[in-house]
Amino acid sequence: MILLLEPNTDPSSIDYNILIEQLTRLPGVTHRVHREIGTEITVTEIYLIGNTGTLSLEDMEALPCVERVVRVSEAYRILGRHKHGDDRPAHFEYNGVRFGQDTLHVFAGLCAVDVPEHVEQMMKALQEHGQVCTRMGAYKPRTNPYAFQGHGAKCLPWVFELAGKYGIKVIAMEITHESHVEEIRQALRQTGNPTGVMLQIGTRNTQNFELLKQVGKQQEFPVLLKRGFGITLDESLNAAEYLASEGNRKVIFCLRGMKTNMGDPHRNFVDFAHVPAVKRLTRMPVCIDPSHSVGTRAVDPQGVLDVFHVTTQGVIAGANMVLVDFHPNPAKALVDGPQALLMKELPHFLEDAALAREAYLKRQALAQKYRH
């Protein structure tokens, strides 16, 4: 059960203290407070865990400071959508950019940071095409221990400075260890916070619960969680809930394809049909990663890349974010060159995605018109 308190409830007020005292007295029920401090209002939610089946909604609603009560009907207590009275938001803002189940942002960029010229060419092209987000890998989890592992902390200052120079507001950056959060925080501080970072948890770490807990404990950076490539959707959504249960609910869920040879000739079996499923089950914005799903630059007989096709398939189904690999010189890319799009393909890619977005919005309007 979730108690939604009146906006700006003061935790030092008498009413609030009476409420907490009453909750403490409920037999077999523990509570956890989540406070989200916004620019205008502070939202407080109290999660009641345990034997809540016998509590009546009316009794709970009558408690001081309580505005509304939601009975949790499904798993994913915090991030899920619950059946009755759950109008909690499905969006958040970070560094001036709004991420929601109703928005679309493209994060085109390098799979792995290599040299400053390539990072600069990428960011310059993004700015020229009105983009404020990118992807840049500094910490790369690799199958082969002898393969390039990413430049790590040492590239962060110049990557962040270049991002600031070209107006990039959010960089999706994978981390593979909790210590990377502090390295990112320090590099941002050292460079005067020229940009923002969305911490990415890769598919190999989807169920690294200790990493999830540590990343969930901080609320400074939003998190992009990749679906685990060999586990059920439910297991991956529970992984997202780990982040929220520790306090960070600025979470975006990313579909990136499943590992099975049934997906051949693609690198992974594209799972973008799950975009609406994740939006129905949870309040998380949903990202698609066409690059790691398809994994090649294969083209159809008309010359359209499979990466373009699956992107539009995800966007027309309502995806809110696209994470996509580009590289100014894929032959020189240190990671995943064969799937990278070329700089000259950026305007085509963005226009194609915008076309699919327009079609999605029209489909939404159509659904309203024919509401059954």
Q: What are the residues binding ligand PEP (CB under 6 A)?
A: 111, 137, 174, 202-203, 226, 256, 289, 292
Place of tokens 């909750």: 23
Nearest approach in angstroms of CB 160 to ligand PEP is 18
- Return the number of the residue (139 or 360) whose C-beta is nearest ligand PEP: 139
Q: Any bridge partners for residue 100, and if so which?
A: 91
Q: Is 199 in the site for Mn ion (CB under 5 A)?
A: no
- Return the number of the residue (37 or 331) whose C-beta is nearest Mn ion: 331
Q: Any bridge partners for residue 212, and if so which?
A: none
| Interface segment toward Mn ion; rule CB under 5 A; list 16-24, 63-71, 240-248, 332-340 | 332-340
* Bond preceding residue 265 cis, omega within 30 of 0: yes
Sheet holding 66-70, edge to edge: 29-37, 42-50, 2-5, 66-70
Record the tokens describing residue 232, joined without a space. 């059920």
Q: What's the CA gap between 91 and 218, in Å, rounded?
A: 18
Q: What's the CA gap between 127 and 235, in Å, rounded?
A: 37
* Closest chain position to ligand PEP (CB): 202
360 φ/ψ angles, rounded to the nearest 5 degrees: -60, -45
Q: What's the CA gap between 337 and 327, in Å, rounded?
A: 7
Nearest approach in angstroms of CB 65 to ligand PEP is 42
Nearest approach in angstroms of CB 156 to ligand PEP is 16
Angle of the 306-316 helix axis to the 346-369 helix axis, nearest 10: 30
- Three-state SS at 42: strand
- Return the number of the residue (138 or 188) whose C-beta is nearest ligand PEP: 138
- Return the number of the residue (101 or 268) whose C-beta is nearest ligand PEP: 268
Q: Is residue 94 classed exposed, middle or buried when 0-12, 13-18 and 19+ CB atoms within 10 A define those classes? A: middle
Nearest approach in angstroms of CB 257 to ligand PEP is 8
Name the binder of 258 from ligand PEP, Mn ion, none, CB < 5-8 A by kind: none
- The sign of the dihedral angle between the CA atoms of 73, 75, 79, 81 is negative
Quote the distance between the C-alpha of residue 191 and its chain's center. 25
Name the binder of 256 from ligand PEP, Mn ion, none, CB < 5-8 A by kind: ligand PEP
8 Å CB contact between 202 and 218: no
DSSP state of 5: E
- Return the number of the residue (114 or 336) whose C-beta is nearest Mn ion: 336
- Return the number of the residue (80 or 150) whose C-beta is nearest ligand PEP: 150
Nearest approach in angstroms of CB 174 to ligand PEP is 6
Nearest approach in angstroms of CB 173 to Mn ion is 12
Name the binder of 203 from ligand PEP, Mn ion, none, CB < 5-8 A by kind: ligand PEP
Q: Is 254 in the site for Mn ion (CB under 5 A)?
A: no
Q: Is 111 in the site for Mn ion (CB under 5 A)?
A: yes
The residue within the footprint of Mn ion, chosen from 283, 336, 343, 356 (CB under 5 A), is 336
- Positions touching Mn ion (CB under 5 A) are 111, 336
